[in-house]
Amino acid sequence: MLTCVAFEVWKRRRRSRSATTRCWAENRLVEVRVMATRPETVADRVSFEYDGFGRRTRVVERHGNMVLQDKYLVWCGSQLCGEVDGSGTVLKAFTT
């Protein structure tokens, strides 16, 4: 079951409001949507995928229908080891 909650935040320093919607399924954050107008190079929707152990395995950032970034999270047991893109290029490597 998908549950979505809308948030509106007032930023005093900028004197602006920011509205987002966050969606959960099975107690996991699966999507964040930003309701403000944004430049085409900035994501207005981010979706998340998980494996059977509940570890986040994929993050897709979109502006409208255009994919800005699609990255996979690499796990070494219960430790996050790194991030790779769809072609297997290492974006970040984490050490413990």
pLDDT digits (tens, 9 = 90+) for 6-64: 888 766 666 666 788 999 999 899 999 887 766 777 888 999 999 999 999 999 999 88
**pLDDT, position 12:** 65
Q: Which of 1, 51, 46, 55 is nearest to 26 (CA)?
A: 1
- Would you say 61 and 39 are in contact if contact means Cβ atoms under 8 Å apart? no
Taking the complete model, does pTM exceed 0.85, yes or no? no
